[in-house]
């Protein structure tokens, strides 16, 4: 049995805590909000057993990785830089980069900005979203919310300076509600749509009956609660607060497509599809070598944990095409 190990690794700009296992071609697994490296535990074990060096960092501001104090130190340029630095710190020239949720957004941008360091890319739950020349994201989101007539998109609410305070006040309740509201096992009437009614907070709009999803054990949940109790939610929400700054910093990427082999996986009951589905439908226009677009039935947002075996299988099939590795039977190879 392969047991992933944890260590701290110093990159150029950040001390990062990583969870890793295996030897072979490097595969980086980037988590989203509100997650940690441990969200990839099943995939780390599966990829390591198949002959890959699977590495999942706690991302900037999360868990055991350092959290910069300044909001503007959480831009997409910093996040891509963290990944490129990690590749180099792990003594590799390039990697396959896989991301979920915010981690998917980072993975797509890594492929755009540093194609020399990213041999292939996979996104889970959040499709590639090209830069829109017409204006910054928060203005577009406000217009989207107005058209939907269902309140504010939660990302708009996250722009407030104190948006993290409600979560910091009770991390266990915040995490339980968010995991439940975006899970595929939650009844449709109780799932979040991503939109928040006026005079209601994000957490206030999620029912008090929220329970842990079927895939989340009490001990696994305790690890999340302990990590967010220590590090808080301000850093993770600063990622959202940099969206307009990201837009202003990335004009040089306008119109650029991703040419590396790519893969997209989502759940048919992922609430993200309510507000990002239009991008999902257009990905073939921007991903010139899209090898697969998989929609898993009865799955919600936390797809690599909800459907661990399916996601691991799809990733391994993709890796077999884009990052061939020595046979695990090769003399001297250790998995």
The tokens describing 191, both together, are 């799932």
Q: Is the pLDDT of residue 180 over 70?
A: yes
CB 306 within 8 A of CB 300: yes
The pLDDT score that the predictor gives to residue 97 is: 98
Q: Which of 101, 152, 238, 270 is catalytic?
A: 101
Dump pLDDT digits (tens) for 84-103: 999 999 999 999 999 999 99
Q: Which percentage of the chain shows pLDDT scores above 90?
A: 87
The pLDDT score that the predictor gives to residue 333 is: 35
The tokens describing 306, both together, are 């909800």
252 contact partners, CB below 8 Å, separation of at least 6: none
| Average of per-residue pLDDT across 209-217 | 96
Q: Measured between alpha carbons, how far is 311 from 116 in angstroms, rounded to an integer?
A: 26
The pLDDT score that the predictor gives to residue 141 is: 86
Q: Which of 78, 100, 301, 325 is catalytic?
A: 301
Q: Is the pLDDT of residue 178 over 80?
A: yes
The yes-or-no answer on residue 101 being catalytic is yes
Mean pLDDT of the chain: 94
Q: Containing H/E element for 320?
A: helix 308-322
Instruction: For residue 120, list its beta bridge partners.
Output: 96
The pLDDT score that the predictor gives to residue 106 is: 98
pLDDT tier at 145, thresholds 50, 70, 90: confident
143 contact partners, CB below 8 Å, separation of at least 6: none
Task: Quote the pTM value.
Answer: 0.95
The pLDDT score that the predictor gives to residue 330 is: 35
The yes-or-no answer on residue 301 being catalytic is yes
Q: Is the pLDDT of residue 331 over 60?
A: no
The pLDDT score that the predictor gives to residue 209 is: 96
DSSP state letter for 300: -
Q: Is the pLDDT of residue 215 over 60?
A: yes
The pLDDT score that the predictor gives to residue 326 is: 65
CATH number 3.10.20.30 is the correct assignment for the domain at 5-322? no
Greatest Cα pair distance in the chain: 64
147 contact partners, CB below 8 Å, separation of at least 6: none
ω into 34 cis (within 30 of 0):
yes
Say which range, 24-33, 59-68, 247-256, 275-284, has the weakest mean pLDDT: 275-284
DSSP state letter for 329: T
| C-alpha triplet 52, 55, 57: angle, nearest 5° | 170
For tokens 């990733």, the residue is 315
Helix (H, G, I), strand (E, B) or coil at 181: helix
DSSP state letter for 204: T
84 contact partners, CB below 8 Å, separation of at least 6: 110, 114, 117
């Amino acid at each position: 049995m392969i047991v992933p190990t944890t260590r701290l690794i110093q990159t150029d700009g950040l001390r990062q805590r990583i969870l890793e296992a295996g030897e072979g071609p490097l595969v980086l697994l980037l988590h989203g909000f509100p997650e940690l490296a441990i969200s990839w535990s099943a995939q780390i074990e599966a990829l390591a057993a198949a002959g890959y060096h699977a590495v999942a960092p706690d991302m900037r501001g999360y868990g055991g990785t350092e959290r910069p104090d300044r909001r503007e130190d959480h831009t997409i340029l910093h996040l891509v830089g963290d990944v490129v630095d990690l590749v180099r710190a792990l003594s590799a020239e390039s990697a396959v980069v896989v991301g979920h949720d915010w981690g998917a957004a980072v993975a797509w941008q890594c492929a755009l900005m540093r194609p020399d360091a990213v041999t292939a890319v996979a996104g889970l739950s959040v499709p590639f979203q090209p830069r829109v020349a017409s204006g910054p994201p928060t203005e577009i989101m406000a217009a989207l919310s107005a058209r939907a007539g269902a309140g504010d998109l939660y990302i708009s609410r996250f722009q407030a300076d104190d948006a993290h305070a409600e979560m910091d006040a009770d991390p266990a309740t915040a995490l339980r509600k968010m995991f439940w509201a975006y899970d595929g096992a939650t009844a449709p009437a109780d799932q979040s749509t991503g939109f928040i009614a006026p005079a209601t907070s994000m957490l206030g709009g999620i029912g008090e009956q929220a329970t842990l999803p079927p895939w989340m054990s009490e001990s696994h949940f305790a690890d999340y609660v302990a990590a967010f109790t220590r590090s808080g939610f301000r850093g993770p929400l600063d990622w959202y607060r940099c969206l307009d700054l990201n837009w202003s910093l990335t004009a040089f990427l306008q119109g650029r497509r991703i040419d590396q082999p790519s893969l997209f996986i989502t759940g048919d009951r992922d609430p993200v599809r309510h507000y990002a589905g239009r991008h999902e439908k257009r990905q073939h226009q921007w991903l010139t070598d899209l090898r697969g677009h998989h929609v898993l039935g009865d799955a919600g947002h936390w797809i690599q944990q909800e459907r661990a075996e399916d996601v691991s299988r799809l990733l391994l099939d993709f890796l077999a095409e884009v990052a061939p590795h020595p046979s695990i039977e090769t003399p001297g190879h250790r998995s």
